[in-house]
């Protein structure tokens, strides 16, 4: 699709948006029978002449008919497609991905040097299908040949099957004189918060850039194009390159490069459905200034985190500590006073400080903490002689400690927001399970937290609990031994 075409799409946006809403409201509000008849009317027109899709229809048929007979009048038509597409609640647990090769048939899309966009789109889509099927997904392509299919028909097909994700593949063209413009752009409808469009689009964008090394262009949250706006499942549209750029155009016709594009898209889908896990942990709070800012961002992003609290600040700001608990985050104990010399002097001095903090948290929040984190981590420069004994005693008392395996390094040399984001990215090392260290006493951490969360679409962020296998630094073999950490 060209930049101009997008403008046209946008100018029609108001109308389409309204029509779209009427359609959605209709689907939601009307009774089962009405809904089914209206779906069938449109879907049967778009019935795919595709053996695989028809096979899927057949597979679904038995269960669907059963449900139909309980809730709806008999259909007025005996058409096979009609019956097969009618009811969709016998949904397989294997995600169904619609990979939509843009344009087709009389609609060429944009043009490169003797290259039609519709052909590149289809070639890449077929490769994505292969990759996704290797990964165990069900995949549907609205077209598998060079045929014309209206956008509305593609969307209705995906909606009728209750597909789990929709990715439309396109190529770009720059309509100015500059032939050097190149790279990948991805679009999604950011105005629709009911679908997880942003995370899908971010992953497709990020992984495809990673696999191809292509120039990273924008991730646009403003696409309510037909395919991204009318779909009922998470959707995005990726433009994998510029046909107006002769070199990129040539690359895009190369099978090896197309494979890289396909691998990136498939990897993005895979991470969308099988995310890695990140535990975001905040130490040293509650703070007067920044803990509440951090809680606001977490609330907006619907993310739960873990706070290892300092007892003396809990006594100072009990209402902030209470808010942490009330909003569903995990509370653990950090210490009562953040003074390494006193804490690690002996097992007794550690325990005395710990219980003081424990009581402060209990009084302010009602939480009986199960988790704790050692100031400086379980093994640090101040506790070489005592850490093994303290760990032994705390474990015997039933408490679980968490160190970390990634860090914002937000208390080291007062880094700016950009540096904090870079530190976070550099320290996750693609691990499947990340325990990220952060501090809710640091202004820049509060400032960049939203971007930080957006930066990791491949991770699902969760709060810690006592059932999670902890991340520990390696304890020295005997008191006084050196540690790598």
Among all chains, which residue has been given the structure tokens 């019935």?
47
Contact 102, 119 (CB under 8 A): no
Query: Cα(363)–Cα(312) distance, rounded to whole angstroms?
Result: 12
Minimum gap (Å) between residue 439 Cβ and Zn ion: 7
Q: In whole angstroms, how far apart are CA 324 and each of 296, 317, 328?
A: 10, 11, 7
Which C-beta is closer to Zn ion: that of 127 or that of 442?
Answer: 442
Crossing angle of helices 347-365 and 318-326, in 10° steps, is 70
Minimum gap (Å) between residue 395 Cβ and Zn ion: 20
Which C-beta is closer to Zn ion: that of 375 or that of 415?
Answer: 375
Which C-beta is closer to Zn ion: that of 263 or that of 284?
Answer: 284
Which residues, at least 6 apart from 246, have a Cβ–Cβ distance to it below 8 Å? 112, 113, 179
Which C-beta is closer to Zn ion: that of 346 or that of 380?
Answer: 380
Which C-beta is closer to Zn ion: that of 365 or that of 407?
Answer: 407
Minimum gap (Å) between residue 338 Cβ and Zn ion: 6
Which C-beta is closer to Zn ion: that of 50 or that of 380?
Answer: 380
Which C-beta is closer to Zn ion: that of 224 or that of 283?
Answer: 283
Reference 412, options 430, 394, 386, 438; nearest CA is 438
283 is catalytic: yes
Minimum gap (Å) between residue 335 Cβ and Zn ion: 7
Minimum gap (Å) between residue 287 Cβ and Zn ion: 12
Structure token pair of residue 30: 């009307």
Reference 227, options 163, 139, 314; nearest CA is 163
Tell me whether residue 225 is exposed, middle or buried, using C-beta atoms within 10 angstroms of its C-beta: 0 to 12, 13 to 18, 19 or more.
Answer: buried
Among 119, 283, 284, 353, the active-site one is: 283
Among all chains, which residue has been given the structure tokens 């390494």?
340
Q: How many residues does the chain have?
A: 485
Minimum gap (Å) between residue 320 Cβ and Zn ion: 17
Ordered DSSP codes for 223-266 = ---HHHHS-SS-EEEEEEEETTSHHHHHHHH-HHHHHHHHHHHH
Ordered DSSP codes for 447-458 = HHHHHHHHH-TT
Structural Rg of the chain based on CA atoms: 27
Query: Cα(283)–Cα(309) distance, rounded to whole angstroms?
Result: 6
Minimum gap (Å) between residue 262 Cβ and Zn ion: 46
Closest chain position to Zn ion (CB):
283
Q: Which residues contact Zn ion (rule: CB under 5 A)?
A: 283-284, 375
Active site residues per annotation:
283, 439
């Amino acid at each position: 699709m060209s930049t101009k075409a997008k403008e046209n799409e946008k100018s029609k946006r108001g109308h389409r948006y309204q029509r779209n809403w009427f359609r959605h409201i209709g689907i939601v509000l009307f009774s089962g029978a009405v809904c089914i008849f209206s779906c069938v009317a449109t879907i049967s027109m778009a019935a795919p002449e595709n053996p695989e899709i028809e096979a899927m229809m057949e597979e679904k048929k038995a269960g669907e008919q059963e449900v139909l007979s309980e809730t709806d009048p008999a259909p007025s038509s005996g058409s096979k497609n009609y019956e097969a597409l009618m009811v969709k609640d016998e949904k397989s647990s294997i995600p169904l991905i619609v990979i939509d090769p843009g344009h087709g048939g009389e609609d060429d899309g944009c043009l490169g040097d003797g290259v039609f966009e519709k052909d590149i789109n289809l070639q890449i889509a077929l490769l994505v299908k292969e990759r996704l099927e290797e990964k165990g997904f069900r995949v549907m392509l609205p077209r598998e040949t060079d045929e014309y299919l209206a956008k509305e028909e593609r969307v209705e097909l995906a909606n009728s099957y209750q597909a789990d994700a929709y990715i439309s593949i396109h190529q770009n063209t720059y309509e100015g004189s500059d032939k050097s413009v190149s790279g990948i752009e991805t679009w999604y409808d950011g105005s629709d918060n009911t679908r997880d469009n942003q995370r899908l689009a971010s992953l497709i964008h990020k992984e495809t850039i990673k696999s191809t090394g292509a120039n990273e262009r924008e991730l646009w949250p403003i696409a309510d194009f037909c395919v991204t706006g009318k779909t009922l499942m998470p959707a995005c549209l990726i433009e994998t390159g510029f046909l107006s750029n002769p070199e990129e155009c040539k690359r895009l016709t190369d099978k090896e490069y197309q494979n890289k594009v396909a691998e990136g898209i498939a990897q993005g889908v895979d991470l969308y459905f099988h995310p890695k896990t990140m535990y975001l942990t905040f130490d040293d709070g509650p703070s007067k200034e920044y803990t509440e800012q951090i809680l606001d961002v977490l609330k907006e992003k619907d993310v739960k985190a873990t706070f290892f609290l300092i007892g003396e600040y809990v006594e100072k700001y009990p209402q902030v500590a209470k808010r942490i608990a009330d909003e569903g985050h995990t509370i653990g104990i950090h210490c009562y006073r953040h003074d390494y010399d006193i804490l690690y002097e002996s097992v007794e001095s550690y325990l005395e400080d710990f219980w003081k903090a424990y009581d402060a948290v209990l009084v302010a929040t009602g939480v009986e903490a199960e988790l704790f984190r050692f100031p400086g981590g379980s093994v640090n420069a101040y506790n070489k002689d005592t850490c093994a004994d303290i760990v032994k005693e705390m474990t015997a008392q039933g408490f679980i400690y968490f160190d970390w395996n990634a860090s914002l390094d937000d208390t080291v040399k007062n880094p700016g927001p950009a540096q904090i984001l870079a530190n976070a990215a550099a320290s996750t090392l693609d691990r499947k399970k990340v325990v990220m260290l952060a501090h809710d006493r640091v202004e820049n951490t509060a400032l960049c937290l939203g971007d930080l969360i957006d930066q990791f679409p491949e991770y699902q962020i969760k709060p810690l609990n006592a059932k999670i296998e902890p991340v520990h630094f390696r304890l020295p073999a005997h008191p006084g031994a050196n540690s790598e950490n």
